[in-house]
Structure 1
Amino acid sequence: MSKPIVEVKGHHVSHDIAALKRQYEQTRLNAVRAQMAEREMELRTGEVIDGALYLLQKPLNVIKAMSDNLKRQSGNQLPMGIALDEALTSGQAAIQSLRLALPGDRPAVKAPVNLNEIIRDVLVISADRLSANGVVVDWRPQPDLPMVYADENALRILLRILLNNALLAVSEPGSWGRSIHFDTRLSEDGLIEACIRDTGPGIKRGLHSKIFEPFYTSWSGRASSSGMGLAIAQQIVGDLRGDITIKASDQPGCTICISIPACKARKFE
């Protein structure tokens, strides 16, 4: 019996394999986008409600203090005291409704993650937006970077928030250019650091802590900005037992750095 003839052309095979790899990568990135969108919506919803609860509690505390003061002075029969009590009751009911609307805590799926690969995903996903805005990214990853123990999607959301923040900064009046610099490194104390520097107008030192507050935004002419991005970034970094800071620099613009324990520097639980 004659054997079947199999004709193999090397260049055709390699071309097919390359096409399959591109198709697989595109499918993977589409899945990553969908997962990030779902997770980011949960984070934003939770952060918005937490921020609203914080803002609502302040006037309710004032109302309660006024009501208590009126009761001490003239009892609870004055129309003003009754109105204050009704307002306080309504406010407390609103707070309770908001608390019930908070998304349930989803258990984080943490695993050893290569931060450079996460940054690469974020840059690829954001490539069209960067190109449309004429922004060049100078990415300088440290080779052989140790892993970090993290939720991949949360880490992607964190880095995309920082990238989007830098993209907005270089579009602000007073910017020095349209470039963003990204680098990673292993610090001497075993922390993985990622710093992103933009060529925007920079942030005044007095606002370095305020920009991480919910609802705060300093962007000019951007009514659509929710002011939640950096608040969410700070929450994610905190969940990773890391830190996020604005780094002092002689260069123009703003440099935001995150530091996360490397796998070897922490105990797995």
Structure 2
Amino acid sequence: MPDPSREDELAGTEQPFVEHLMELRDRLVKALIAVAIAGGVLFFYPGPGALYDLLAAPLIAHLPAGATLIATSVISPFMVPLKILMMAAFVIALPVVLYQVWAFVAPGLYLHEKKLVLPLVVSSSLLFFIGMSFCYFFVFGKVFAFIQSFAPKSITPAPDIEEYLSFVLTMFMAFGIAFEVPVVVVVLARMGLVSIDKLKSFRGYFVVGAFVVAAVVTPPDVVSQLSLAVPMCILYELGIIAARIFIRQTKAPEDEKETTPADTAG
């Protein structure tokens, strides 16, 4: 039976459907403005060309002397740097975008639920950045060195910039999303969809699933697959620990009253 005190907490927060749409529009506009501002700053400094050179640096460092990337399309030298610029602008503006999402759903949340959402927004942004950084600074170097070690000396590699951009985006998304594992675990546990004990018993299946996902989304080499699967397994364990803490810190008031010493000890 619902607790009247909890219902009163949200009393008066209801809005007509049209007002919800208007607020959603305003939030989307603010998110787009943040992305546009980040893109404008990056356009003037360091510039699309410099961003492209920065993104291509891990591959160029492992190409043979004299080898370089090529453009097989006339418009590629213009479009690829712009695509990289837009990608970088969105990543930089990601905290603002996620905050707008949080601000849109916050009025419909209870106070104890609001305590959960903002830390998740911050942690999900940080984890996504960490995942991309791990991919760029560690994985790319290992993968490109591994691939070039198998290339015959009679072949001069000349990767296409469009193909390279597609590869980079796929890897960034794979590692960025993979590093969100703790957030997913915390949300599932806090919503009551999965218990902590179930998460622990599911550990073996997750390890197998992590290696399957790594085999599908990364290049067919052991280095990149291990670089994705191993962090996912570690982050899963960290997610279980974080879920315990979040559940304890974001309990509803009546849940805290009902908690017995035995439950706390467990």
Alignment TM-score, normalising by the size of structure 2: 0.26
Q: Which has the larger radius of gyration?
A: 1
Higher RCO structure (Cα 8 Å, ≥6 apart): 2
TM value normalised by structure 1: 0.25
Query: Going by fraction, where is helix more abundant, 1 or 2?
Result: 2
The structure in which a higher percent of residues are strand is 1
